[in-house]
């Protein structure tokens, strides 16, 4: 093993699958090249395999494969290659080669401790990734609140859909308490989203400003759209303040952090969000009504849109757009939209499972094992297990996944299924309206997709591809 030292950090929005797939891919690629690497992961349970200051100091290059904030300010003065987590999975070999060949940019050393104001703005070609990374930093921290709150609310419905209402015969005090607790967690969705978008941009000083901006957005009825706007607004307000306040003596740095940034930042962001709340609330309501309208008018079109979005990149930005919309509608009482989103997310791993069952001899042993494991992952609403199958032939495999997911979503909407929880897969079946039809819808879409994917694999093997 070479003494050439590489360190890396990986992180995906949900912190469930992509994070660790990128870690494994980078470690395997480095092993092939005979170089040493340590990969720090930023998953849903926190930072694992954390890089020490000494390891970062000794590293010759840093690879960041992440779609969320991984505290890149630690790598100032080091040569850094920064890419999406998806590229970390698909092009790990190329990234290691680039690292060995001197690729990457040296992170400029900032004089500011809390906020990096001296680094250059992102290049035009990287602006999209920069914005997406900060947006996903908010989404990744928001999801546990949405999932925990949504599932608790769903469980409370086991005592009856009106079990929270003291005036109703179904009333149950324990169920009502569960719903209240779940509602508090769900109510944190917009403030947390906003807070961690701002934190990704302006680090810790942006956190409180983003949080309060998100509260103003939430109270103003702007929904998650307002949370996104307040998060970016708060982050850049704090960055602007940090530049304006650089003229103050360095002895006042502590005062800036605990007094000036939060007071001025919260005041400016809060007032702007109050002004924006009314028009944004109207836009948010119109968008939600538009999507909800498809549910009642044309389940085919809605299912096709949702199915294609969820299977297009399986955990990526398009998938997350559908999922976040579903959670936002769920928070407003629309439990039908999420049913199709969940079906479309469960279908891709099931498709791979049925493909290896139907066309077993055309898959390698490792693929057969992964396909069977995907039945378990899919059952718990984890879509990412299908990525390795799609990545081998994306131009042909992804359309098949999209067909299967669309069929599952279309049938789900046609049968009037309602899913009151934003995650959990089949674990939340007891609280699903028309649960049997939901499972049948998913299985039909998955079996059709599995047959097509298996036929594709047979074709590839027969052609020697």
Whether the predicted model's global pTM rises above the 0.85 cut = no
**pLDDT at residue 109 above 60?**
no
3-12, 28-37, 190-199, range with the lowest pLDDT: 3-12
Query: Which pLDDT does position 107 carry in this prediction?
Result: 72
Query: Which pLDDT does position 284 carry in this prediction?
Result: 66
CA distance 369 to 382: 17
**Is 12 a known active-site residue?**
yes
**pLDDT at residue 459 above 90?**
no
* Domain range list for the chain: 5-106, 124-284, 298-462
Mean pLDDT of 424-436: 84
Helix ranges (DSSP H) in 220-316: 223-244, 253-255, 261-297, 299-313
Query: Which pLDDT does position 74 carry in this prediction?
Result: 87
Residue 223 zone, left/alpha/beta (φ > 0; ψ -120 to 50; rest)? left
More confident: 206 or 331: 206
Report the relative pairing of strands 46-48 and 61-66 from DSSP bridges: unpaired
- CA distances to 344, 350, 378, 447 from 372, rounded to whole Å, are 19, 9, 10, 14
21-30, 186-195, 200-209, 245-254, range with the lowest pLDDT: 245-254
**pLDDT at residue 112 above 50?**
no
> Which is the catalytic residue, given 12, 308, 310, 345?
12
**pLDDT at residue 57 above 50?**
yes
230-234, 303-307, 404-408, range with the lowest pLDDT: 303-307
CA distance 256 to 248: 9
Query: Which pLDDT does position 275 carry in this prediction?
Result: 92
Position 117 confidence tier, pLDDT thresholds 50, 70, 90: very low
Query: CB-side exposure of 450: number of CA atoms within 13 Å?
Result: 27
Mean pLDDT of 269-289: 81
Burial per residue of 427-437, b for 16 or more beta-carbon CB atoms within 10 angstroms, e otherwise: ebeebbbbbeb
Report the relative pairing of strands 36-43 and 105-106 from DSSP bridges: unpaired
Q: Please provide the average confidence, as pLDDT, over all residues in the chain.
A: 83
Question: Any idea what DSSP says for residue 317?
Answer: H
Query: Which pLDDT does position 115 carry in this prediction?
Result: 52
Query: Which pLDDT does position 439 carry in this prediction?
Result: 95
More confident: 110 or 406: 406
Rg over CA atoms, the chain: 24
Mean pLDDT of 173-200: 89
CA distance 405 to 390: 14
- pLDDT tens digits for range 137-166: 887 787 778 767 767 877 787 787 678 888
**pLDDT at residue 121 above 70?**
no
Query: Which pLDDT does position 3 carry in this prediction?
Result: 62
Residue 415: exposed, middle, or buried by beta-carbon count in 10 A (0-12, 13-18, 19+)?
A: middle
Mean pLDDT of 327-347: 82
**pLDDT at residue 294 above 60?**
yes
Mean pLDDT of 90-99: 90
Residue 245: exposed, middle, or buried by beta-carbon count in 10 A (0-12, 13-18, 19+)?
A: middle
**At how many degrees (to 10) do helices 317-331 and 223-244 cross?**
110
Structure tokens, 269: 């962001």
Mean pLDDT of 183-206: 88
Residue identified by tokens 């999406």 is 84
Mean pLDDT of 251-262: 82
The dihedral over CA atoms of 412, 415, 420, 425, expressed in degrees to the nearest 10, equals -40
> What percent of the chain lies above the pLDDT cut of 70?
86
**Residue 82: what are its φ and ψ, rounded to 5°?**
-115, 120
Question: Any idea what DSSP says for residue 420?
Answer: -
Mean pLDDT of 339-349: 91
CA distance 226 to 424: 27
Query: Which pLDDT does position 120 carry in this prediction?
Result: 44
Position 212 confidence tier, pLDDT thresholds 50, 70, 90: very high
Position 89 confidence tier, pLDDT thresholds 50, 70, 90: confident
**pLDDT at residue 207 above 90?**
yes
The dihedral over CA atoms of 442, 444, 450, 455, expressed in degrees to the nearest 10, equals -160
| Class of domain 5-106 (CATH, top level) | alpha beta
Helix, coil or strand: residue 107: coil
- Bridge partners (DSSP) of residue 43 are 46
């Amino acid at each position: 093993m070479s003494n050439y030292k590489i360190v890396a950090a990986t992180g995906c929005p949900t912190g469930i699958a992509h994070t660790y797939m990128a870690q494994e891919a980078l470690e395997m690629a480095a092993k092939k090249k005979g170089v040493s690497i340590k990969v720090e992961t930023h998953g849903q349970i926190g930072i694992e395999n954390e890089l020490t200051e000494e390891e970062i100091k000794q590293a010759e290059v840093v690879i960041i494969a992440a779609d969320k904030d991984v505290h890149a300010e630690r790598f100032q003065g080091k040569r850094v290659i920064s890419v999406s987590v998806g590229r970390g999975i698909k092009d790990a070999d190329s990234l290691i080669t680039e690292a060995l060949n001197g690729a990457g940019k040296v992170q400029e050393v900032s004089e500011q401790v809390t906020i990096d104001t001296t680094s250059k703005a992102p290049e035009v070609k990287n602006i999209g990734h920069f914005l997406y990374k900060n947006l996903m930093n908010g989404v990744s921290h928001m999801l546990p609140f949405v999932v925990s709150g949504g599932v608790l609310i769903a469980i409370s419905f086991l005592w009856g859909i009106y079990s929270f209402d003291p005036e109703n015969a179904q009333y149950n005090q324990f169920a009502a308490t569960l719903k209240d607790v779940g509602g508090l967690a769900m109510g944190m969705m917009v403030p947390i989203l906003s807070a961690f978008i701002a934190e990704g941009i302006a680090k810790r000083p942006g956190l409180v400003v983003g949080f309060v901006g998100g509260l103003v957005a939430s109270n103003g009825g702007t929904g998650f759209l307002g949370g996104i706007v307040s998060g970016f607004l708060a982050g850049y307000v704090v960055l602007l303040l940090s530049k304006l306040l650089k003229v103050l003596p360095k002895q006042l740095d502590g005062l800036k952090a605990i007094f000036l940034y939060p007071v001025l930042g919260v005041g400016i962001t809060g007032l702007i969000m109050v002004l924006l709340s009314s028009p944004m609330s109207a836009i948010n309501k119109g968008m939600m009504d538009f999507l909800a309208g498809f549910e009642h008018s044309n389940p085919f079109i809605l299912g096709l849109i949702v199915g294609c979005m969820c299977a297009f990149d399986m955990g990526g930005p398009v998938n997350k757009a559908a999922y976040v919309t579903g959670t936002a509608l769920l928070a407003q009482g629309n439990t039908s939209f999420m049913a199709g989103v969940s079906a479309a997310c469960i279908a891709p791993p099931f498709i791979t499972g049925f493909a290896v069952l139907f066309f077993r001899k055309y898959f390698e042993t490792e693929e057969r094992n992964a396909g069977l494991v995907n039945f378990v992952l899919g059952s718990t609403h984890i879509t990412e297990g299908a990525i390795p199958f799609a990545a081998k032939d994306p131009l042909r495999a992804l359309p098949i996944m999209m067909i299967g997911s669309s069929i599952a979503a279309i049938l789900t909407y046609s049968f009037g299924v309602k899913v009151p929880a934003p995650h959990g897969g089949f674990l939340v079946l007891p609280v699903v309206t028309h649960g049997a039809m939901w499972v049948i819808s998913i299985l039909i879409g998955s079996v059709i997709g599995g047959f097509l994917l298996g036929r594709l694999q047979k074709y590839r093997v027969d052609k020697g591809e």
